[in-house]
Chain A
Amino acid sequence: MNRTITMNLNGIIFHIEEDAYDKLNKYLSTIKGYFKDSEGRDEIMSDIEARIAEMLSEKVSSTKQAVLLTDVESVIGIMGKPEDFADDSERKGSSEKSESSSEKNRASYPNSKRRRVFRDTDDKILGGVCAGVANYFDFDPLWLRAAFAISFFVFGSGFLLYIILWIIIPSAKTTAEKLEMRGEKVDVNNIGKAVNEEFEDFKKKMKDFGHEVNSKENKEKLKTSAQKATEFIGDVFHNMIHVFGKIVAFFLLFIGIVLMIALLATIFGSGTISVFNTSTSTIHYSLYEFCSTVLPGSLPIILVVIALVLFIGIPLSAMIYFGIRHLFGIKQKNKIVKYFFNSLWLIGLCMMIYIGIKIGNDFSEEATVREKIEITQPSTNLLSLDLKALPDDDIDATYYHHRKHKIDLGDWAVILKDENSFRLGYPSMSIQPSETDSFQLIAVKNSNGRNKKEATSYANNIDYTITQKDSVITFNNYFDIKSNDKLRAQDLKLILRVPVGKTIFLSKRMEKIIYNIENVSNTLDGDMVNRRWKMTKQGLECVDCDGLEIKHKHKTGAY
């Protein structure tokens, strides 16, 4: 149900629906505005009104009494837009007045002659993208084509960009669009000119406004001028936002393209994921290597690649898309493309979640395997503990070669040692009193897995060796796992059992692996190295800490 208004148009009474009335009213007042400066405006208006009345009266009958919005729209369609016919009278008018008003018309549409970017389908090789963009910037499309052709081979990034451009840049279909494509060059001068034009127009409007205020015009007219003035202030703001928007769009586009190349390089090229190890060095690790070690065997790597392309690539494409659209002022919207990409992104998201769950599932069970590492008892009561020199020092050629395949995250490192095994670091070591009178070294191997059996098997596959020379045990920085084993949070803890009355020496390097070793003086791990420690009934007691002891005690007290 709709409310109707009774309207008198050229002496005929119409019942017209409210929205239809608004539309018609707006239409008529726009026309009125266009003929403002023409002589005989009222007469033209009454002619137009008469014609509209005639057409509307054909639309109503005794069964359909009200004028609907669609009726008004069809009438407006027949009559045409004000600008279609207002131009005629104003430009052809011989008076000075109409000349100035036609100029005003032009000024209020400063963009009408400005150049816009279109695909030049008359000069195309693929989609006319290069020709169109070259037209826009005024250079030979050959260069752009060459650049694109080359970039096709850079992980296909150019290809993707080309497709995006193809989708978003409309082709120049009508002759008018073709002319617009080669229209006035867009440069700083032009932008300045446009702003200037707007400003002149604004000044003029203000002058008119003042004029109209001064003349004893009625309130309604005053209102419309005030509206125009506010509209114009709005326009100025709009322009400022516009310029700002272009800058943002440029950055959006730039960042989008850079990230897109990075993504494509990671996926299709030999590019690597860089992990910032320290502030000065980075470690590179290829996506495929990473996937093969983490992904459950049932998930193909291609799935991850697709998920990544969809999940990350689509937002990046969107960045490029909006950047280009805004930069070149392309107004055309493509809803289908939008929904298509939105749903693709959602698919990507679902795939990511699925992969996440699959991987998470592989960590659901935990298993621990304890194993005794054989050591020979030292001939004296002293056992020296040392850590193999750092990998950087123990450059064996193979290791060095594979150095790039290393991820180091704090205390945890992964190295692709050779075809058969991985190395993970570091183990952690604790010291406990021994119940027997001999030293014992126990390896506690820990792993996660999809089920208990798998976790146990992964734990068993952890391989750790030490070397012993007389009373010196040298620990390894890394423990190895089989290369076809997945990374499932494998971890190695070493427990050294020291019999009461026997002494151990911790080398400086041991600092890396000892973890929370309890001792009588509550000395911190870092301060325990380079000293001898004797196991007493109370626990480890420092043998050669004289002079330092007080300091440590003091330190402990402070805690």
Chain B
Amino acid sequence: MHLECNNLNFTYPGSKVAVIDNLSFSMKNPGFKAIFGPSGIGKTSLAKIVANSNTKIDGDIITESMDTILYSYNLERLPGWLSAGNHLNKVTPAGKEALKEELIHIFELYDLLDSRFSQLSMGQQNRMNLIRYLLQDFDLLILDESLANVDEKLRESIILAIKELFANKMFIYISHNLMEVSKFCSQILVFGKTSENKGCFMINGQDYKKNYQLDKHKLDITMLEIMNAF
């Protein structure tokens, strides 16, 4: 499993400023990877370009063993005419009912299945939305702030469970949480501030999993490296 971008350039139609300027990076093997950087730097644009092969770009995006790439983001909504549970049932592919039940349990949404999406809090909405993506067939799932507004403890247990349940899939996690990306991701693509003319850097994270011993010193170093590149 391999995602590689070479000399990628992208400018929105009608704009003179390139959102992505000569970007090259490589992400290998399944697991959690991250894109980190300040707001408006091009993280979402890059994610959308990677997910949508029809976007006109200058440069190369090479994918190996990645037939299906999905992009999810935190402002998505489920239609409001049915309860959230009924919608989940409708989008669950045959044979994945047990996985759905397990995810509902892990995401702590069991008591909310009869509610309409608009009745849920933002964190609950984001969890409900993420479950339906995890139930689909994919090789790479991009999570653009998909766990925003979820409390830290639950977010940690969700990420650890996803890493365990989907060990052979790749995830690109877009977040502004420095500690989280440093701790859970194996590779972190850091977008430097354009105002300071900093480029992009790939930094290795701690890739923390269940039952692993986290070396806090190494975690501190990773965080410092990101802050220096940022």
Decide whether A and B assemble into one complex.
no
Q: A residues within 8 Å of B by Cβ?
A: none
